[in-house]
Structure 1
Amino acid sequence: MKGLALLFKFMTRLPFPGGNNFDSKELGKGMKWFPVVGMVIGVINLIVATVLEGFIPSPLLMSIILVTLDVIMTGGLHLDGLADTFDGIFSYRSKQKMLEIMKDSRVGTNGVLVLILYFIFKIAFLMETSELFGVSQGVIMLIVPVLSRINSVVNCTFEPYARASGMGKTFVDNTDGMGLGISYLTVTAFLYLVSIYFNLPFVSLFIILNIMTATGFFFGKLITKKIGGITGDTLGALLELSSVLSLVLMYVML
Protein backbone atom coordinates (compact mmCIF):
# COMPACT_ATOMS: atom_id res chain seq x y z
CA MET A 1 0.00 0.00 0.00
CA LYS A 2 2.88 2.38 0.71
CA GLY A 3 4.31 1.77 -2.74
CA LEU A 4 0.91 2.35 -4.33
CA ALA A 5 0.42 5.57 -2.36
CA LEU A 6 3.85 6.82 -3.43
CA LEU A 7 3.07 5.87 -7.02
CA PHE A 8 -0.10 7.97 -6.96
CA LYS A 9 1.76 10.93 -5.50
CA PHE A 10 4.63 10.64 -7.98
CA MET A 11 2.67 9.79 -11.14
CA THR A 12 -0.53 11.83 -10.69
CA ARG A 13 -1.92 15.01 -9.20
CA LEU A 14 -4.68 13.06 -7.46
CA PRO A 15 -4.96 13.13 -3.65
CA PHE A 16 -4.22 9.74 -2.11
CA PRO A 17 -3.89 8.82 1.58
CA GLY A 18 -0.47 7.79 2.87
CA GLY A 19 2.87 7.98 1.12
CA ASN A 20 3.99 11.11 2.96
CA ASN A 21 7.41 9.65 3.77
CA PHE A 22 9.33 9.17 0.52
CA ASP A 23 11.01 5.79 0.11
CA SER A 24 12.59 5.21 -3.30
CA LYS A 25 12.68 1.43 -2.90
CA GLU A 26 9.00 1.25 -1.95
CA LEU A 27 8.18 3.54 -4.87
CA GLY A 28 10.08 1.28 -7.24
CA LYS A 29 8.41 -1.86 -5.91
CA GLY A 30 5.06 -0.17 -6.44
CA MET A 31 5.52 -0.18 -10.23
CA LYS A 32 3.68 -3.51 -10.48
CA TRP A 33 0.54 -1.64 -9.36
CA PHE A 34 0.87 1.05 -12.03
CA PRO A 35 -2.21 -0.27 -13.90
CA VAL A 36 -4.22 0.32 -10.69
CA VAL A 37 -3.33 4.01 -11.02
CA GLY A 38 -4.76 3.78 -14.53
CA MET A 39 -7.95 2.22 -13.16
CA VAL A 40 -8.54 5.16 -10.83
CA ILE A 41 -7.89 7.63 -13.65
CA GLY A 42 -10.21 5.61 -15.89
CA VAL A 43 -13.03 5.58 -13.34
CA ILE A 44 -12.77 9.36 -13.01
CA ASN A 45 -12.92 9.65 -16.81
CA LEU A 46 -16.05 7.48 -16.86
CA ILE A 47 -17.77 9.47 -14.11
CA VAL A 48 -17.03 12.82 -15.77
CA ALA A 49 -18.17 11.56 -19.18
CA THR A 50 -21.39 10.15 -17.72
CA VAL A 51 -22.18 13.41 -15.94
CA LEU A 52 -21.47 15.54 -19.01
CA GLU A 53 -23.27 13.36 -21.58
CA GLY A 54 -26.57 15.14 -21.02
CA PHE A 55 -25.01 18.59 -21.34
CA ILE A 56 -22.48 18.13 -24.15
CA PRO A 57 -23.96 16.57 -27.30
CA SER A 58 -20.83 17.21 -29.38
CA PRO A 59 -18.60 14.08 -29.63
CA LEU A 60 -15.63 16.25 -30.58
CA LEU A 61 -16.01 18.50 -27.56
CA MET A 62 -16.42 15.47 -25.28
CA SER A 63 -13.20 13.96 -26.67
CA ILE A 64 -11.30 17.19 -26.08
CA ILE A 65 -12.59 17.40 -22.50
CA LEU A 66 -11.64 13.80 -21.66
CA VAL A 67 -8.18 14.06 -23.20
CA THR A 68 -7.62 17.34 -21.34
CA LEU A 69 -8.84 15.77 -18.10
CA ASP A 70 -6.27 13.01 -18.50
CA VAL A 71 -3.50 15.63 -18.83
CA ILE A 72 -4.76 17.46 -15.73
CA MET A 73 -4.81 14.29 -13.62
CA THR A 74 -1.22 13.37 -14.55
CA GLY A 75 0.09 16.92 -14.60
CA GLY A 76 1.44 16.38 -18.12
CA LEU A 77 4.29 14.33 -16.64
CA HIS A 78 4.29 11.68 -19.35
CA LEU A 79 3.78 14.18 -22.16
CA ASP A 80 7.00 15.88 -21.09
CA GLY A 81 8.74 12.52 -21.46
CA LEU A 82 7.18 12.03 -24.91
CA ALA A 83 8.47 15.39 -26.16
CA ASP A 84 11.94 14.93 -24.62
CA THR A 85 12.29 11.42 -26.05
CA PHE A 86 11.46 12.48 -29.59
CA ASP A 87 13.80 15.48 -29.34
CA GLY A 88 16.61 13.16 -28.27
CA ILE A 89 16.04 10.11 -30.46
CA PHE A 90 15.42 12.07 -33.65
CA SER A 91 18.45 14.30 -33.16
CA TYR A 92 20.47 11.42 -34.69
CA ARG A 93 23.42 12.20 -32.42
CA SER A 94 25.56 9.94 -30.25
CA LYS A 95 23.99 8.07 -27.33
CA GLN A 96 25.44 10.49 -24.80
CA LYS A 97 24.26 13.52 -26.77
CA MET A 98 20.77 12.04 -27.07
CA LEU A 99 20.64 11.64 -23.29
CA GLU A 100 21.79 15.22 -22.82
CA ILE A 101 19.11 16.53 -25.18
CA MET A 102 16.43 14.48 -23.39
CA LYS A 103 17.51 15.97 -20.07
CA ASP A 104 17.27 19.53 -21.42
CA SER A 105 14.11 21.24 -20.12
CA ARG A 106 13.60 23.04 -23.43
CA VAL A 107 11.32 21.51 -26.08
CA GLY A 108 12.59 21.26 -29.65
CA THR A 109 10.85 20.97 -33.00
CA ASN A 110 10.46 17.18 -32.85
CA GLY A 111 8.93 17.44 -29.39
CA VAL A 112 6.40 20.02 -30.51
CA LEU A 113 5.47 18.01 -33.60
CA VAL A 114 4.92 14.77 -31.69
CA LEU A 115 2.72 16.54 -29.12
CA ILE A 116 0.56 18.05 -31.89
CA LEU A 117 0.20 14.69 -33.62
CA TYR A 118 -0.45 12.97 -30.29
CA PHE A 119 -3.46 15.16 -29.48
CA ILE A 120 -4.84 14.97 -33.03
CA PHE A 121 -4.69 11.18 -33.13
CA LYS A 122 -5.93 10.65 -29.59
CA ILE A 123 -8.93 12.95 -29.94
CA ALA A 124 -9.80 11.65 -33.43
CA PHE A 125 -9.60 7.94 -32.59
CA LEU A 126 -11.47 8.39 -29.31
CA MET A 127 -14.33 10.14 -31.09
CA GLU A 128 -14.40 7.80 -34.10
CA THR A 129 -14.21 4.58 -32.07
CA SER A 130 -17.09 5.73 -29.88
CA GLU A 131 -19.29 6.69 -32.83
CA LEU A 132 -18.44 3.68 -35.01
CA PHE A 133 -19.11 1.00 -32.39
CA GLY A 134 -21.63 2.81 -30.20
CA VAL A 135 -19.35 2.65 -27.15
CA SER A 136 -19.38 5.56 -24.72
CA GLN A 137 -16.25 7.69 -24.75
CA GLY A 138 -16.25 7.36 -20.99
CA VAL A 139 -16.03 3.56 -21.26
CA ILE A 140 -13.19 3.81 -23.78
CA MET A 141 -11.30 6.21 -21.51
CA LEU A 142 -11.94 3.85 -18.62
CA ILE A 143 -9.93 1.19 -20.45
CA VAL A 144 -7.18 3.23 -22.15
CA PRO A 145 -5.31 4.42 -19.00
CA VAL A 146 -5.07 0.82 -17.78
CA LEU A 147 -3.85 -0.65 -21.06
CA SER A 148 -1.31 2.11 -21.57
CA ARG A 149 0.36 1.57 -18.19
CA ILE A 150 1.17 -2.13 -18.54
CA ASN A 151 4.03 -1.29 -20.92
CA SER A 152 5.83 0.75 -18.28
CA VAL A 153 6.03 -2.42 -16.20
CA VAL A 154 7.20 -4.39 -19.25
CA ASN A 155 10.07 -1.99 -19.92
CA CYS A 156 11.14 -1.78 -16.27
CA THR A 157 11.22 -5.59 -16.14
CA PHE A 158 13.32 -6.27 -19.23
CA GLU A 159 15.47 -3.20 -19.90
CA PRO A 160 18.41 -1.61 -18.06
CA TYR A 161 18.47 2.01 -16.99
CA ALA A 162 20.45 4.21 -19.37
CA ARG A 163 21.94 6.54 -16.76
CA ALA A 164 23.98 5.93 -13.63
CA SER A 165 21.25 7.54 -11.55
CA GLY A 166 17.80 9.03 -11.92
CA MET A 167 14.28 8.68 -10.59
CA GLY A 168 13.40 6.07 -13.19
CA LYS A 169 16.24 3.84 -11.99
CA THR A 170 14.34 2.93 -8.85
CA PHE A 171 11.56 1.45 -10.99
CA VAL A 172 14.00 -0.58 -13.09
CA ASP A 173 15.90 -1.86 -10.04
CA ASN A 174 12.77 -2.99 -8.20
CA THR A 175 10.61 -4.45 -10.97
CA ASP A 176 10.92 -8.12 -11.91
CA GLY A 177 9.06 -10.91 -13.68
CA MET A 178 6.84 -11.53 -10.67
CA GLY A 179 5.79 -7.89 -10.65
CA LEU A 180 5.04 -8.01 -14.37
CA GLY A 181 2.96 -11.14 -13.84
CA ILE A 182 0.92 -9.39 -11.15
CA SER A 183 0.36 -6.41 -13.45
CA TYR A 184 -0.62 -8.62 -16.37
CA LEU A 185 -3.14 -10.62 -14.32
CA THR A 186 -4.54 -7.42 -12.79
CA VAL A 187 -5.14 -5.87 -16.22
CA THR A 188 -6.61 -9.12 -17.59
CA ALA A 189 -9.07 -9.37 -14.68
CA PHE A 190 -10.00 -5.71 -15.12
CA LEU A 191 -10.68 -6.16 -18.85
CA TYR A 192 -12.79 -9.24 -18.12
CA LEU A 193 -14.97 -7.38 -15.62
CA VAL A 194 -15.32 -4.37 -17.92
CA SER A 195 -16.26 -6.61 -20.85
CA ILE A 196 -19.03 -8.25 -18.81
CA TYR A 197 -20.40 -5.02 -17.33
CA PHE A 198 -20.36 -3.02 -20.57
CA ASN A 199 -21.04 -5.92 -22.95
CA LEU A 200 -17.72 -5.67 -24.78
CA PRO A 201 -15.85 -8.55 -26.50
CA PHE A 202 -13.33 -9.80 -23.94
CA VAL A 203 -11.38 -11.79 -26.54
CA SER A 204 -10.77 -8.62 -28.56
CA LEU A 205 -9.67 -6.71 -25.47
CA PHE A 206 -7.38 -9.58 -24.45
CA ILE A 207 -5.78 -9.64 -27.91
CA ILE A 208 -5.29 -5.86 -27.70
CA LEU A 209 -3.57 -6.32 -24.32
CA ASN A 210 -1.13 -8.84 -25.77
CA ILE A 211 -0.39 -6.73 -28.84
CA MET A 212 0.25 -3.82 -26.49
CA THR A 213 2.69 -5.74 -24.30
CA ALA A 214 4.54 -7.13 -27.33
CA THR A 215 4.82 -3.64 -28.82
CA GLY A 216 6.06 -2.26 -25.49
CA PHE A 217 8.68 -5.01 -25.28
CA PHE A 218 10.09 -4.21 -28.74
CA PHE A 219 9.94 -0.47 -28.04
CA GLY A 220 12.14 -1.05 -25.01
CA LYS A 221 14.62 -3.05 -27.10
CA LEU A 222 14.73 -0.27 -29.71
CA ILE A 223 15.35 2.42 -27.09
CA THR A 224 18.05 0.33 -25.41
CA LYS A 225 19.77 -0.08 -28.78
CA LYS A 226 19.61 3.68 -29.30
CA ILE A 227 20.73 5.01 -25.91
CA GLY A 228 21.84 1.97 -23.90
CA GLY A 229 18.67 1.57 -21.81
CA ILE A 230 15.46 3.27 -20.82
CA THR A 231 14.92 6.48 -18.84
CA GLY A 232 12.03 8.17 -17.09
CA ASP A 233 11.44 10.13 -20.29
CA THR A 234 11.20 7.03 -22.46
CA LEU A 235 8.81 5.45 -19.96
CA GLY A 236 6.59 8.52 -20.24
CA ALA A 237 6.83 8.45 -24.01
CA LEU A 238 5.91 4.75 -24.10
CA LEU A 239 2.89 5.35 -21.88
CA GLU A 240 1.52 8.10 -24.11
CA LEU A 241 2.27 6.23 -27.34
CA SER A 242 0.58 3.16 -25.85
CA SER A 243 -2.54 5.17 -25.07
CA VAL A 244 -2.82 6.18 -28.73
CA LEU A 245 -2.03 2.65 -29.92
CA SER A 246 -4.72 1.21 -27.64
CA LEU A 247 -7.27 3.57 -29.23
CA VAL A 248 -6.15 2.58 -32.72
CA LEU A 249 -6.41 -1.12 -31.85
CA MET A 250 -9.84 -0.66 -30.30
CA TYR A 251 -10.95 1.17 -33.45
CA VAL A 252 -9.80 -1.78 -35.54
CA MET A 253 -10.88 -4.70 -33.33
CA LEU A 254 -13.95 -3.81 -31.25
Structure 2
Amino acid sequence: MNSLLLALQFFTIIPVHKNLPMEERQISGIYSLFPWIGASIGAISCALLYFQWGPLMTAFSIVFMGVLLSGGLHLDGFIDTSDAFFSYRDRMKRFEILDDPRVGAFGVMAVVLLIVGKVIIVSEVLAAESFHWIFVLLLPLFSRAALVMLFGLTRSAKESGLAYFFKQKMNANAVILATACNIFVGLLLIGWMTSWLIAVTFAVVLLVFICFYRNWALKNFGGVTGDLLGACVEITEVVLWLTLLLLLS
Protein backbone atom coordinates (compact mmCIF):
# COMPACT_ATOMS: atom_id res chain seq x y z
CA MET A 1 0.00 0.00 0.00
CA ASN A 2 2.86 2.41 0.78
CA SER A 3 4.34 1.73 -2.66
CA LEU A 4 1.00 2.46 -4.33
CA LEU A 5 0.60 5.71 -2.42
CA LEU A 6 4.15 6.72 -3.29
CA ALA A 7 3.55 5.93 -6.97
CA LEU A 8 0.44 8.09 -6.95
CA GLN A 9 2.32 10.82 -5.10
CA PHE A 10 5.25 10.94 -7.53
CA PHE A 11 3.63 10.13 -10.87
CA THR A 12 0.09 11.54 -10.77
CA ILE A 13 -1.71 14.68 -9.69
CA ILE A 14 -3.59 12.75 -6.98
CA PRO A 15 -2.74 14.50 -3.70
CA VAL A 16 -1.17 12.12 -1.17
CA HIS A 17 -0.26 14.33 1.76
CA LYS A 18 1.53 11.74 3.85
CA ASN A 19 5.12 11.04 4.83
CA LEU A 20 5.89 7.49 3.74
CA PRO A 21 8.98 5.27 4.13
CA MET A 22 11.23 5.15 1.06
CA GLU A 23 13.41 2.10 1.49
CA GLU A 24 14.23 -0.70 -0.96
CA ARG A 25 10.90 -2.48 -0.58
CA GLN A 26 8.83 0.65 -1.16
CA ILE A 27 10.95 1.98 -4.05
CA SER A 28 10.93 -1.42 -5.77
CA GLY A 29 7.17 -1.53 -5.27
CA ILE A 30 6.74 1.91 -6.86
CA TYR A 31 8.32 0.82 -10.12
CA SER A 32 6.69 -2.62 -10.10
CA LEU A 33 3.28 -0.90 -9.86
CA PHE A 34 4.11 2.00 -12.17
CA PRO A 35 2.81 0.34 -15.37
CA TRP A 36 -0.58 -0.09 -13.70
CA ILE A 37 -0.64 3.60 -12.87
CA GLY A 38 -0.48 4.03 -16.64
CA ALA A 39 -3.29 1.51 -17.10
CA SER A 40 -5.38 3.45 -14.58
CA ILE A 41 -4.84 6.64 -16.58
CA GLY A 42 -5.82 4.68 -19.69
CA ALA A 43 -8.96 3.40 -17.97
CA ILE A 44 -10.06 6.95 -17.14
CA SER A 45 -9.31 7.98 -20.73
CA CYS A 46 -11.52 5.13 -21.96
CA ALA A 47 -14.52 6.91 -20.42
CA LEU A 48 -14.06 9.65 -23.02
CA LEU A 49 -14.98 7.17 -25.77
CA TYR A 50 -18.60 7.15 -24.58
CA PHE A 51 -19.18 10.82 -25.40
CA GLN A 52 -19.37 9.94 -29.11
CA TRP A 53 -17.39 12.94 -30.23
CA GLY A 54 -15.58 12.98 -33.56
CA PRO A 55 -12.23 11.16 -33.78
CA LEU A 56 -10.17 14.36 -33.63
CA MET A 57 -11.91 15.74 -30.53
CA THR A 58 -11.78 12.37 -28.80
CA ALA A 59 -8.09 11.99 -29.63
CA PHE A 60 -7.32 15.44 -28.26
CA SER A 61 -9.25 14.61 -25.07
CA ILE A 62 -7.36 11.33 -24.60
CA VAL A 63 -3.98 13.02 -25.06
CA PHE A 64 -5.01 15.90 -22.78
CA MET A 65 -6.24 13.50 -20.09
CA GLY A 66 -2.91 11.66 -20.11
CA VAL A 67 -1.00 14.91 -19.65
CA LEU A 68 -3.40 16.18 -16.99
CA LEU A 69 -3.44 13.06 -14.81
CA SER A 70 0.35 12.70 -14.92
CA GLY A 71 0.79 16.37 -14.09
CA GLY A 72 2.75 16.86 -17.32
CA LEU A 73 5.71 15.13 -15.64
CA HIS A 74 6.79 13.05 -18.62
CA LEU A 75 6.09 15.83 -21.09
CA ASP A 76 8.38 18.10 -19.08
CA GLY A 77 11.10 15.47 -19.33
CA PHE A 78 10.59 15.28 -23.08
CA ILE A 79 10.94 19.06 -23.41
CA ASP A 80 14.14 19.18 -21.35
CA THR A 81 15.61 16.19 -23.20
CA SER A 82 14.86 17.82 -26.56
CA ASP A 83 16.51 21.06 -25.49
CA ALA A 84 19.60 19.21 -24.27
CA PHE A 85 20.00 16.82 -27.19
CA PHE A 86 19.35 19.29 -30.01
CA SER A 87 21.76 21.80 -28.50
CA TYR A 88 24.55 19.58 -29.91
CA ARG A 89 26.79 20.59 -27.01
CA ASP A 90 29.15 18.46 -24.96
CA ARG A 91 27.80 16.12 -22.29
CA MET A 92 28.35 18.44 -19.32
CA LYS A 93 26.55 21.29 -21.09
CA ARG A 94 23.67 18.96 -21.86
CA PHE A 95 23.34 18.18 -18.15
CA GLU A 96 23.25 21.91 -17.42
CA ILE A 97 20.43 22.31 -19.95
CA LEU A 98 18.53 19.41 -18.38
CA ASP A 99 18.72 21.11 -14.99
CA ASP A 100 17.72 24.53 -16.38
CA PRO A 101 14.02 25.23 -15.60
CA ARG A 102 13.73 27.48 -18.65
CA VAL A 103 12.33 26.10 -21.91
CA GLY A 104 14.36 26.63 -25.08
CA ALA A 105 13.32 26.86 -28.70
CA PHE A 106 14.13 23.22 -29.42
CA GLY A 107 11.95 22.08 -26.54
CA VAL A 108 9.01 24.18 -27.74
CA MET A 109 9.26 22.93 -31.31
CA ALA A 110 9.65 19.31 -30.21
CA VAL A 111 6.69 19.33 -27.83
CA VAL A 112 4.40 21.00 -30.37
CA LEU A 113 5.31 18.37 -32.97
CA LEU A 114 4.88 15.60 -30.40
CA ILE A 115 1.42 16.67 -29.22
CA VAL A 116 0.07 17.54 -32.66
CA GLY A 117 1.48 14.34 -34.13
CA LYS A 118 0.10 12.22 -31.30
CA VAL A 119 -3.38 13.74 -31.58
CA ILE A 120 -3.44 13.12 -35.35
CA ILE A 121 -2.18 9.54 -35.03
CA VAL A 122 -4.65 8.69 -32.24
CA SER A 123 -7.54 10.22 -34.21
CA GLU A 124 -6.67 8.06 -37.21
CA VAL A 125 -6.57 4.95 -35.01
CA LEU A 126 -9.95 5.86 -33.49
CA ALA A 127 -11.44 6.15 -36.97
CA ALA A 128 -10.26 2.67 -37.99
CA GLU A 129 -12.99 0.02 -38.21
CA SER A 130 -11.03 -2.48 -36.12
CA PHE A 131 -10.28 -0.03 -33.28
CA HIS A 132 -10.80 -1.46 -29.80
CA TRP A 133 -10.96 0.41 -26.49
CA ILE A 134 -8.34 -1.90 -24.99
CA PHE A 135 -5.66 0.05 -26.86
CA VAL A 136 -6.52 3.25 -24.97
CA LEU A 137 -6.30 1.28 -21.73
CA LEU A 138 -3.04 -0.57 -22.31
CA LEU A 139 -0.76 1.70 -24.34
CA PRO A 140 -0.08 3.88 -21.26
CA LEU A 141 0.79 0.66 -19.40
CA PHE A 142 3.33 -0.33 -22.07
CA SER A 143 4.90 3.14 -22.15
CA ARG A 144 5.43 3.12 -18.36
CA ALA A 145 6.73 -0.44 -18.54
CA ALA A 146 9.29 0.70 -21.12
CA LEU A 147 10.46 3.38 -18.66
CA VAL A 148 10.86 0.83 -15.88
CA MET A 149 12.76 -1.63 -18.06
CA LEU A 150 15.04 1.15 -19.27
CA PHE A 151 15.60 2.36 -15.71
CA GLY A 152 16.37 -1.11 -14.41
CA LEU A 153 18.78 -1.97 -17.23
CA THR A 154 20.68 1.31 -17.55
CA ARG A 155 23.08 3.11 -15.24
CA SER A 156 22.39 6.60 -13.99
CA ALA A 157 23.98 9.39 -16.00
CA LYS A 158 24.80 11.44 -12.90
CA GLU A 159 25.17 10.87 -9.17
CA SER A 160 22.45 13.27 -8.09
CA GLY A 161 18.74 13.79 -8.49
CA LEU A 162 15.66 11.78 -7.67
CA ALA A 163 16.28 9.15 -10.36
CA TYR A 164 19.73 8.43 -8.94
CA PHE A 165 18.29 8.13 -5.41
CA PHE A 166 15.64 5.67 -6.60
CA LYS A 167 18.21 3.72 -8.61
CA GLN A 168 20.35 3.16 -5.51
CA LYS A 169 17.38 1.98 -3.46
CA MET A 170 15.65 -0.18 -6.06
CA ASN A 171 16.00 -3.95 -6.37
CA ALA A 172 16.51 -3.85 -10.14
CA ASN A 173 16.19 -7.60 -10.76
CA ALA A 174 12.88 -7.87 -8.93
CA VAL A 175 11.50 -4.79 -10.68
CA ILE A 176 12.55 -6.00 -14.14
CA LEU A 177 10.93 -9.39 -13.51
CA ALA A 178 7.70 -7.78 -12.28
CA THR A 179 7.63 -5.42 -15.26
CA ALA A 180 8.22 -8.25 -17.73
CA CYS A 181 5.20 -9.98 -16.18
CA ASN A 182 3.16 -6.78 -16.50
CA ILE A 183 4.07 -6.50 -20.18
CA PHE A 184 3.21 -10.17 -20.73
CA VAL A 185 -0.23 -9.73 -19.13
CA GLY A 186 -0.87 -6.66 -21.27
CA LEU A 187 0.14 -8.50 -24.44
CA LEU A 188 -2.09 -11.44 -23.54
CA LEU A 189 -5.05 -9.08 -23.17
CA ILE A 190 -4.27 -7.42 -26.50
CA GLY A 191 -3.98 -10.78 -28.26
CA TRP A 192 -7.10 -12.23 -26.66
CA MET A 193 -9.33 -9.20 -27.26
CA THR A 194 -8.02 -8.03 -30.64
CA SER A 195 -5.29 -9.80 -32.61
CA TRP A 196 -2.27 -11.93 -31.76
CA LEU A 197 -0.44 -10.26 -34.64
CA ILE A 198 -0.81 -6.91 -32.88
CA ALA A 199 0.34 -8.42 -29.58
CA VAL A 200 3.46 -9.98 -31.13
CA THR A 201 4.23 -6.80 -33.07
CA PHE A 202 3.94 -4.71 -29.90
CA ALA A 203 6.33 -7.09 -28.12
CA VAL A 204 8.92 -6.75 -30.90
CA VAL A 205 8.52 -2.97 -31.17
CA LEU A 206 8.88 -2.55 -27.40
CA LEU A 207 12.02 -4.69 -27.29
CA VAL A 208 13.64 -2.92 -30.24
CA PHE A 209 12.71 0.54 -28.97
CA ILE A 210 14.01 -0.08 -25.43
CA CYS A 211 17.33 -1.33 -26.84
CA PHE A 212 17.58 1.60 -29.25
CA TYR A 213 16.69 4.22 -26.65
CA ARG A 214 19.07 2.69 -24.11
CA ASN A 215 21.97 2.81 -26.58
CA TRP A 216 21.05 6.37 -27.55
CA ALA A 217 20.96 7.49 -23.89
CA LEU A 218 24.31 5.84 -23.13
CA LYS A 219 25.95 7.36 -26.21
CA ASN A 220 24.67 10.91 -25.73
CA PHE A 221 24.28 11.21 -21.94
CA GLY A 222 26.23 8.33 -20.45
CA GLY A 223 23.10 6.84 -18.88
CA VAL A 224 19.61 7.87 -17.89
CA THR A 225 18.18 10.75 -15.86
CA GLY A 226 14.66 11.55 -14.74
CA ASP A 227 14.14 13.73 -17.82
CA LEU A 228 15.34 11.02 -20.19
CA LEU A 229 13.00 8.53 -18.54
CA GLY A 230 10.08 10.94 -18.88
CA ALA A 231 10.89 11.42 -22.55
CA CYS A 232 10.93 7.63 -22.93
CA VAL A 233 7.28 7.44 -21.83
CA GLU A 234 6.15 10.06 -24.33
CA ILE A 235 8.11 8.67 -27.27
CA THR A 236 7.09 5.07 -26.53
CA GLU A 237 3.41 6.00 -26.64
CA VAL A 238 3.79 7.75 -29.99
CA VAL A 239 5.74 4.81 -31.41
CA LEU A 240 3.09 2.32 -30.24
CA TRP A 241 0.19 4.43 -31.54
CA LEU A 242 1.97 4.76 -34.88
CA THR A 243 2.60 1.01 -34.96
CA LEU A 244 -1.06 0.41 -34.24
CA LEU A 245 -2.10 2.81 -37.02
CA LEU A 246 0.07 0.94 -39.53
CA LEU A 247 -1.38 -2.40 -38.41
CA LEU A 248 -5.01 -1.23 -38.58
CA SER A 249 -4.68 0.59 -41.90
- Whether TM exceeds 0.5 here: the answer is yes
Pick from 141, 144, 148 the counterpart of residue 149 of structure 1. Answer: 144
Q: Is the 8 A contact 1:151 1:216 kept in 2?
A: yes
Gaps of 5+ in 1: none
Counterpart residue type for residue 144 of structure 2: R
Shifted more, 79-88 versus 172-181: the winner is 172-181
Q: Is the 8 A contact 2:24 2:171 kept in 1?
A: no
Residue 210 of structure 1 and its aligned partner are, at CA, apart by 3.1
What is the alpha-carbon distance in structure 1 between the residues aligned to residue 204 and residue 165 of structure 2? 26
Aligned to 2:89: 93
Residue 195 of structure 1 and its aligned partner are, at CA, apart by 4.2
Given the superposition, is the C-alpha separation of residues 245 and 82 from structure 1 closer, same or farther in structure 2, using an over 3 Å criterion?
A: same
Q: Is the 8 A contact 1:31 1:171 kept in 2?
A: no
**2:246 is equivalent to residue 252 of structure 1:** yes
**2:154 is equivalent to residue 159 of structure 1:** yes
Pick from 194, 201, 208 the counterpart of residue 207 of structure 1. Answer: 201
Given the superposition, is the C-alpha separation of residues 220 and 24 from structure 1 closer, same or farther in structure 2, using an over 3 Å criterion?
A: farther
Given the superposition, is the C-alpha separation of residues 93 and 239 from structure 1 closer, same or farther in structure 2, using an over 3 Å criterion?
A: same
Aligned to 1:227: 221
What is the alpha-carbon distance in structure 2 between the residues aligned to residue 124 and residue 176 of structure 1? 36
Counterpart residue type for residue 93 of structure 2: K
Q: Note the 1:61-140 alignment, pairs <5 A.
A: 61-136=57-132, 138-140=133-135
SS of residue in 2 equivalent to 1:105: coil
Residue 149 of structure 1 and its aligned partner are, at CA, apart by 1.0
Aligned to 1:28: 27
Residue 39 of structure 1 and its aligned partner are, at CA, apart by 1.1
Aligned to 2:41: 41
SS of residue in 2 equivalent to 1:152: helix
Q: TM-score, normalising length from structure 2?
A: 0.91
What is the alpha-carbon distance in structure 1 between the residues aligned to residue 214 and residue 226 of structure 2? 12
What is the alpha-carbon distance in structure 2 between the residues aligned to residue 109 and residue 206 of structure 1? 38
Aligned to 1:179: 175
Aligned residues: 246
Identity %: 27
Gaps of 5+ in 2: none
RMSD: 2.0
What is the alpha-carbon distance in structure 1 between the residues aligned to residue 218 and residue 157 of structure 2? 8
SS of residue in 2 equivalent to 1:23: coil
Given the superposition, is the C-alpha separation of residues 218 and 10 from structure 1 closer, same or farther in structure 2, using an over 3 Å criterion?
A: same
Deviations 1:109-156 (A, max 9, x none): 1101110111111111111112124315x4432122011111111211
Q: TM-score, normalising length from structure 1?
A: 0.89
Given the superposition, is the C-alpha separation of residues 142 and 19 from structure 1 closer, same or farther in structure 2, using an over 3 Å criterion?
A: farther
Q: Is the 8 A contact 1:157 1:180 kept in 2?
A: yes
